[in-house]
Amino acid sequence: MTNMMSFQRTFLLILLVVIGYLLWTEWQKENQPVASQSQPVVATNINGASESEVPTLNEESSAIATTQVVPTEISGELSAIPSTRLITVKTDVLNVTIDTLGGQLVQVQLPAYPESLQQPNVPITLLQTNPGSLYIAQSGLKGPQGPDSATGFAQFATENSEYILADGKDDLSVVLTWKDAQGVLVKKIFNFKRGQYLIDTSFEIDNKSAAPWRGQLYAQIKRQHVEKSRSLLEFPTYSGGAVSSPEKRFQKITFDDMSEDNLDERITTGWLAMVDRYFVSAFIPNNQTEYRYFSRAGGDKNYWLGLVGPWIEVAPGNTVKENLQFYVGPEITDKLKQIAPGLELTVDYGWFWPISQGLFWLMKHIHHFVGNWGVVIIIITVLIKAVFYPLSAASYRSMANMRKLQPKMAALKERHGDDKQKFSQAMMEMYKKEKINPLGGCLPILVQIPVFIALYWVLIESVEFRQAPFFGWITDLSAQDPYYILPVIMGISMFAQQKLSPAPPDPMQAKILMTMPVVFTLLFLTFPAGLMVYWVVNNLISIAQQWYITRSIEKAK
């Protein structure tokens, strides 16, 4: 039986291994090969040429069904779509390309978010048609009388091929029209607003025919997911689908889930989304109507997450209007909260998301005054250390008292030699006599772990830290330190902490602990600079606190 000091250190090492194992398990979940679909279901390609599917709702059984169009061989790149079918829309925050075949959103760029700091004039492309990265939004009306039917998407007409939000204007409308031979006129209207990533989409069905018109509103996000190789140290951030309902505000629908089983749920007051680190696309339907939410997986690693509404009936001479919204942009929690309940949860803060949300709320308010996210990280670290100082102090006192007993521990070890049982008994008697709890430093550390993990996820998931500069050579807090200065400082600070802590009586354990600063420095070389700022500041404050408490106890002795 080892002594209690060894147990304390072993406990902390095991705790570190457990946390690492949990992160590894999460990484494995999100990087498993996608299982093959036994009965692939196909969906409409952006150019109407590769695969086709428009979801419908079976009238008798209310089960979701699909219809297929014969595929042909045409490339999926945007340049392969006839230019006569494409229209462009530019606002202050969105560059959108719409295919008039079905009125599909086939490309969305975000001018306010550059692809990289090295390419400041190249906006990040969220929706796109590139093979291997296909990611588009489709919505429309499905019915036996069109516009979208078993023969494919409707070909809409529009007055212009280019729309630009003019200076001094706050909104911009893009109207697509379709009319059949019987006199049914359908308008698909996209409404864009200044400063907003939310696109209002409405469908007007004007039935001037002699017969009733029947159809269904549908919306779906089609995405091609190809597994990308990742290093072991790359962060396991979530990429996949999500659905919200009053019962479950945020439910992940992974690509594996879509491959293994089709989602089929009735939801009122919900939304669906495709989630990535920093960005999200989401359909938000009318919250007064019940929709059937579905998912599908098909060939070439294509996936669909969508919804189908109830049957719509338009009598001859009448006009009916249906609405839904589509958000495509950054995961800014304040904006997402205003759009739909629970949409802000697409910012995946992990297990301790309530703590993460509270920390980020405080960080936003601090940023309002200091204007630099790196400075915010330093301030929030200082505040956290101040709040947990009583717990940290208890831990440091325990370590200082253990360090004070090291000469006696060495004498006991020399006296009892290799008799570990007698050595342990003597150690316990000494702890009891000196009124020292050798596990006194463990509980304070355990209490702080949820806060540290919550802050960790805030720093790697919040879009506000993407490409955010700090000072000097740190130009992007979400990227690694290009010169590895912060990881080296962190390793040195860990070494200093070990010097302040009592050495374990076991020589082998002492050697292992001495290698930890080197191991952690190597592990953290590729970590985002924002995390390194946190760890360095945290370690420096911990050293100051531990030195002060240790010195006070030694003076008292």
**pLDDT tens digits for range 386-395:** 888 887 777 7
Q: How far apart are CA 442 and CA 499, in angstroms?
A: 19
Confidence (pLDDT) at 396: 72
Half-sphere exposure of residue 1: CA atoms within 13 angstroms, side-chain side: 10
Phi, psi of 172 (to 5 degrees): -145, 130
pLDDT digits over 370-407, tens only? 999 999 999 999 998 888 888 777 777 776 666 666 67
| Between 531 and 229, the higher pLDDT residue | 531
Flag whether pLDDT at 57 surpasses 70: no
CA dihedral (80, 85, 86, 87) in degrees, to 10, reads 170
pLDDT-derived band at 110 (thresholds 50, 70, 90) equals very high
Flag whether pLDDT at 72 surpasses 60: no
Flag whether pLDDT at 71 surpasses 50: no
Spell out the domains of the chain, with CATH numbers in brackets. Answer: 4-25+357-556 (no CATH), 32-226+238-348 (2.70.98.90)
pLDDT-derived band at 436 (thresholds 50, 70, 90) equals low
Least confident of 210-214, 340-344, 435-439, 542-546: 435-439
Taking CA atoms, 505 is separated from 10, 310, 407, 424, in Å, by 12, 72, 11, 12
pLDDT digits over 112-154, tens only? 999 988 888 999 999 999 988 899 999 999 988 878 876 788 9
Confidence (pLDDT) at 55: 65
User: What are the residues whose beta carbons fall under 8 Å from the beta carbon of 146, sequence distance 6 or more?
Assistant: 154, 178, 180, 184, 186, 215
pLDDT-derived band at 423 (thresholds 50, 70, 90) equals confident
Residue 124: its H or E element: strand 119-127
Least confident of 18-22, 91-95, 310-314, 392-396: 18-22
Q: Which of 59-68, 106-115, 514-523 has the highest mean pLDDT?
A: 106-115
Flag whether pLDDT at 41 surpasses 60: no
Confidence (pLDDT) at 503: 64
Flag whether pLDDT at 9 surpasses 90: no
Per DSSP, the three-state class of 409 is helix
pLDDT digits over 160-198, tens only? 999 999 999 999 999 999 998 889 999 999 999 999 999
DSSP class of 469? -
In contact, 37 and 256? CB cutoff 8 Å = no
Return the percent helix, strand and coil in the chain, to nearest 5: 40, 30, 35
Flag whether pLDDT at 316 surpasses 70: yes
In contact, 223 and 208? CB cutoff 8 Å = no
Average pLDDT score, the chain: 81
In contact, 30 and 239? CB cutoff 8 Å = yes
Flag whether pLDDT at 67 surpasses 50: no
| Between 409 and 538, the higher pLDDT residue | 538
pLDDT-derived band at 524 (thresholds 50, 70, 90) equals confident
Flag whether pLDDT at 305 surpasses 80: yes
Flag whether pLDDT at 60 surpasses 50: no
pTM of structure = 0.80
Region of 350 (left: φ > 0; alpha: ψ -120 to 50; beta: rest) is left
Region of 52 (left: φ > 0; alpha: ψ -120 to 50; beta: rest) is beta
Confidence (pLDDT) at 455: 85
